[in-house]
Structure 1
Amino acid sequence: MIGKGHAIASTGASIAYGWNQEKNAEVVLKEYLAGENPKEITEEFKIIQSQNERCINNTLSFVVSPTIEDGKELTKRELEDIAKRFIKEMNLQNNQAIGFVHRDKAHTHVHIYANRISLKGEVYKDSFIGKRSQIAADNVAKELGLKRVCEVQQERLQELKVQRLAIKYINDRVLESRPKSLDEYIGKMKDCQVKVIPCINKSNQLQGFRFEYKGANLKGSEVHRSMTGGRLIGEISQNTSYSRLKEIPQSLKLLDKTVQISSNMATKIAKDLVKQVIKKALDTGIGI
């Protein structure tokens, strides 16, 4: 089961979407609310939200999605139980909330909208709400014996075992040729039918890489733990003589663009470089 969440300002439109009868919507959760339509529910949200008008994104929007197989078997009562447990995991028991199940697609899912302002007028902190939603959904799945995200991921990786082994083999052969830049590495991987896709966030920071090969699209860490962004950059950086933390670049050229390296990734690169320096020293007998 997957959980997603974020804070929004469009309360009325979102609740109207949740209640959309074209999606065969059914109400499966209703906490501290009496309204019978989207307009009435929105007005009730606004009454509570008026206690703290400085909060702009004053509604929390969640989507809780069981696997397709689990979703086919779940009854309305069971989906109601999932919604209530999810709200409890998110510590929103003192907030207005309404939830709708949508069955218009093969993937049954529940939309939950919770007032970010509690009945006491307190603002719910939305920091890392996306990650917290994932954890909450996983905890509920574990409690109810539903398939968890980690189990789905493991099954997927097992199905793609042949592609993963092939990508890892090609990666190792390319690194053996000692590419001196990411562009050179990406080009050599492409020559071997592996497409390397840089993952760059909105702050223009490089987060890592995805790899496409024969229908598979995988994160570096899904291929092998040695293929995370930090480790790959660290490996290639050795070919340009970086050996100390102060020499690690804060930015680099990638596909004709300059991208930033986060401090977290720079630290990981430095640690890998230190390990490599120690290994080389041991292999050559320096200091022994």
Structure 2
Amino acid sequence: MIGLSKSCNGGGALANYVLNENKGYELDRNLLCGSTPKEIVEEMKVIQDLNQRATNKTFSLVLSPDIKDSQKLTNKELKEIAQDYLTRLGIDPVKQQYVAFVHTEKQHKHIHIIASRVQPNGKLISDHHIGKRGQWIAHEIAKERGLVSAKEKMFENIKNIDQKKGDFKNLKTEIFRKHQSIVRANPNTLSNYIKAMDKNGLEIKPTINKQGQIQGFRVIDKGTKTDHKMSDINSSMSGSNLIKNGLKNDLGIPLDKTLQAVEDRQIHKLKTKTSELNTSLLKPLKTASKGLKPSLKNFNFSERKEIKTKEDYLHAIKEYKFIEEVVKPVSIINMDFIEARRQAGILKDYESKKELEKIEDSEKSEKEIKSNQNNLEI
């Protein structure tokens, strides 16, 4: 139950709102005979005029039980609660003018009370910390009557919020861990990234603006069915940072101005790096090829001459050394496939040459044996 209390100057506006028959019904009154809001205000004014110094001569009070409690409480119980509340605030329900009205227009019943702050002797009832006192009194009445207390509910809500915060923190950590793992695998495009996240139980949805452009992304955890902005999980998961990680937009939906500018900068950086890389590759090749024969400087990587003679073999060995000492170190960056294919071909030729040498040695040995035999016969 919630208790709201304040002192005010009262008047017709307050009375018309509280004593509105379309909102509910009258619960209780004391020392008042008027049948309309205007008449009740005028009756209170007679006593309130006994004090000419005060400005706020009226108490406006609200008692709002929990929705479940309000459905069970009878009018008798509501009246007892209202009078108990007045008494504990220092407002005598027997000697002081007041009217209590139950509002039923909302989901739960709640009590509005208009009470005169001026006593019959002209003295004022203290309104010192009336708001805080009203909250605490409502809490005490609720506990005594076995009703739901606003303070207890507040503590329960705080506990639930803390629990949810803890759960969300754990969820954020898990989502970010999966994101990092997928980004490290270099998915290259947004569609590949989205597919990989989907396999990990996370649905990624682009946020589309009124112009039909992508302005960001949201992630839905399939287990908990919770929906979050990607940037709320971690700033590195924002749309701009996804593009900075090298993910190209292949979703068939244009990017907004901000994301498009990021993608354009990434493309420019890539072109610049490629140009610098090509320059850095040519320099060591030119330096290392000095002193080599012209035919060896310009050998064709895609064609390989079949080894038939020792001259072919020596030429192949020079090419092999050139690849090992010059091409291989720099080709690791962007010519691995060329080097691997070339290496495989040369190694194959090298093995073929070994077989050729064995045959030649064997033929030479046979000739020497025959020559020795002829010498012996002579």
- TM-score band, normalised by shorter chain: 0.5 to 0.7
Unaligned runs of 5+ in 2: 171-230, 235-378
- 1:32 maps to 2:28: no
Deviation string 1:52-85 (CA, Å, 9 cap, x unpaired) is 0221111110111000110111122211111111
Q: Contact between 2:103 and 2:111, CA under 8 Å: does it hold in 1? A: yes
- Structure 1 unpaired stretches of 5+: 170-190, 195-288
CA contact (8 A) 2:7 2:56 kept: yes
Q: Deviations over 1:195-227 (max 9, x none)?
A: xxxxxxxxxxxxxxxxxxxxxxxxxxxxxxxxx
Q: Aligned partners of 1:79, 1:35: CA distance in 2, in Å?
A: 22
Say whether 1:19 aligns with 2:33. no
* Contact map agreement 2:90 2:125 (CA 8 A) in 1: no
Task: State the SS of the aligned residue for 2:52.
Answer: coil
Q: Give how far 1:162 is off.
A: 2.8
Q: Deviations over 1:226-277 (max 9, x none)?
A: xxxxxxxxxxxxxxxxxxxxxxxxxxxxxxxxxxxxxxxxxxxxxxxxxxxx
Deviations along 1:122-146, one digit per CA (max 9) or x if unpaired, are 1122121110110121122122221
Q: Give the CA deviation at 1:192.
A: 5.3
CA distance in 2, matches of 1:108, 1:121: 34
CA distance in 1 between counterparts of 2:100 and 2:147 reads 19
Q: Deviations over 1:94-137 (max 9, x none)?
A: 42111100010003211011101012211122121110110121
Partner of 2:56 in structure 1? 57
State the partner residue of 2:147: 146
Q: Give the TM-score normalised by structure 1.
A: 0.55
SS in 1 for 2:99: strand
Q: CA deviation at 1:20?
A: 0.7
Larger radius of gyration: 2
Q: Give the distance between the partners of 2:103 and 2:96, measured in 1 at CA.
A: 23
8 A Cα contact 2:3 2:137, kept in partner: yes
Is 2:64–2:109's contact at 8 Å kept on the other side of the alignment?
yes
Shift of the 168–122 alpha-carbon distance from structure 1 to 2, 3 Å rule, reads: farther
Q: CA deviation at 1:6?
A: 1.1
8 A contact 1:96–1:119 mirrored in 2: no
Task: Please identify, of 87-96 and 157-166, the stretch whose mean Cα deviation from structure 2 is larger.
Answer: 157-166
CA contact (8 A) 2:57 2:118 kept: yes
Which structure has the highest strand share of the two? 1
- Conserved? CA contact 1:82–1:140, under 8 Å: yes
Deviation at 1:193? 6.0
Q: State the AA in 1 paired with 2:12.
A: G
Higher relative contact order (CA 8 A, sep 6+): 1
Distance in 2 (alpha carbons) for counterparts of 1:127 and 1:45: 22
Aligned residue identity for 2:59: L
Q: 4+ residue stretches of structure 1 with deviation over 4 A?
A: 166-169, 191-194
Task: Please report how far the alpha carbon of residue 168 of structure 1 lies from its aligned counterpart in structure 2 after TM superposition.
Answer: 8.4
The percentage of counterpart residues that share the same residue type is 36
2:112 aligned counterpart, secondary structure:
strand
2: CA distance, partners of 1:14 / 1:151:
31
Displacement of 1:154 after TM fit?
3.1
Equivalent in the alignment of 2:66 = 67
Quickly say closer, same or farther: Cα 1:142–1:120, change in 2 above 3 A: farther
For the residue of structure 2 that corresponds to 1:62, the secondary structure is strand
Shift of 1:33: 1.6
What count of residue pairs does the alignment treat as equivalent? 174
Residues 11, 42 of structure 1: 8 Å contact kept: yes
Cα distance in structure 2, aligned partners of 1:96 and 1:143: 26
> Which secondary structure state, in structure 2, belongs to the residue aligned with residue 4 of structure 1?
strand
